[in-house]
Amino acid sequence: MRSLRISVTDRCNLRCQYCMPEPEYIWLPRENILTFEEIAALTDGFTDEGVTRIRITGGEPLLRRDLPVLVASLASRSAIEDLALTTNGVLLKAYASALRRAGLHRITISLDTLKRERFRALTGSSDFDAVLAGIHAAVDAGFTGLKLDSVVIRGTNEDELIDLLELGRTVNAEVRFIEYMDVGGATRWSPAAVVPRAEILETIGRHYGGVIPLDERSSAPAERFLLPDGTTFGIIASTTAPFCATCDRARLTADGIWLLCLYASAGTDLRRPLRAGVTRQELRQLIHAVWALRADRGAEERLGMDRQTTLVPLRALKKDAHLEMHTRGG
């Protein structure tokens, strides 16, 4: 366990078709949402057990009030070597400088299309220009190593791979194409909508005259590639080539449920022991014991199943918000 993704809210200001396509959602009860102090205390338990990389996510993390305060608290912890944020970018213009001052290291912005009308259809929002402004604000604030994440969906945006790469080049961000995953919440998913890694590479290689795989050994989900002009990009092929064997991630929901896998049907409640006054040492022991028994291989198992229906049926999602991607943080 080296990496922890912390969801700070289950709320979102977009309604991406591949994540929150339903008209209504049930939300985590407000009183269960962890305070910044509680998040920091749990983070200490995880770093005591080996975590060195933290990613703040959501829902949309910038909807969480005073997020830079949490960032500053985490940034001050010497055990954390890498502190990153994943955001849809809508509110980034307002927060980029404050996040930088608070000590955030890196930002990943999710953007799937450069066409305004398509953005509206895909996200239910007219905030496309705000996202672009957010990307530029991150550059202006001095963030380097920006990433742009795009979920590729057949019939939706698979014709924009080159345009997205070109935007990445312009703002000095590495683009990562994500295969559409049938995680909980993706109720519109179908096998036919997945654009596999091989096809993504084919399209890009044809346009640029070749693609060179970078031979890297890492636990990062993205495989990286080089274009003849030196541009790099990544592909996260969770659907056709899962990377469970090298996964070192823990995931914490905004109400303190610890998930061992993005596909896990249940997790360990850390909020309850925390609010009951667990010591740092006891928390560490609890985390150690749970992780030691981890045998999750969610994406690999899914690969072997009948995929004509989505992973989690809508009626199950309606009963338990913890099954949703926007609660788990992606």
Instruction: Name which of ligand SAM, ligand SF4, none residue 181 binds, using a CB cut-off of 5 to 8 Å depending on partner kind.
Output: ligand SAM
Least distance in angstroms from the C-beta of 324 to ligand SF4: 9
Answer for which of 3, 7, 88, 239 binds ligand SF4 (CB under 6 A) is 88
Least Å distance between CB 141 and ligand SAM?
Answer: 18
| Residue 10 makes contact with ligand SF4 by CB under 6 A | no
Is 179 a residue that touches ligand SF4 (CB under 6 A)?
A: no
Provide the residue type at 211 as one letter. Answer: V
Residue 15, binding choice from ligand SF4, ligand SAM, none, Cβ under 5 to 8 Å by partner class: ligand SF4
Q: Mask of contacts with ligand SF4, 97-116, x by CB under 6 A?
A: -------------x------
Task: List b or e across 261-271, with b for residues whose CB sees 16 or more CB atoms inside 10 angstroms.
Answer: bbbbeebbebb
Among 8, 19, 186, 312, binds ligand SF4 (CB under 6 A): 19
Would you say 12 or 261 has its CB closer to ligand SF4? Answer: 12
Listed residue (176, 180, 184) closest to 323, CA to CA: 184
Q: Closest approach of Cβ 125 to ligand SAM, in Å?
A: 12
Residue 57 interacting entry, from ligand SF4, ligand SAM, none, C-beta within 5 to 8 Å by type: ligand SAM
Phi-psi region at 209: left, alpha or beta (left = phi > 0; alpha = psi -120 to 50): left
Site residues (CB under 6 A) for ligand SF4? 12, 14-16, 19-20, 58-60, 88, 110, 326
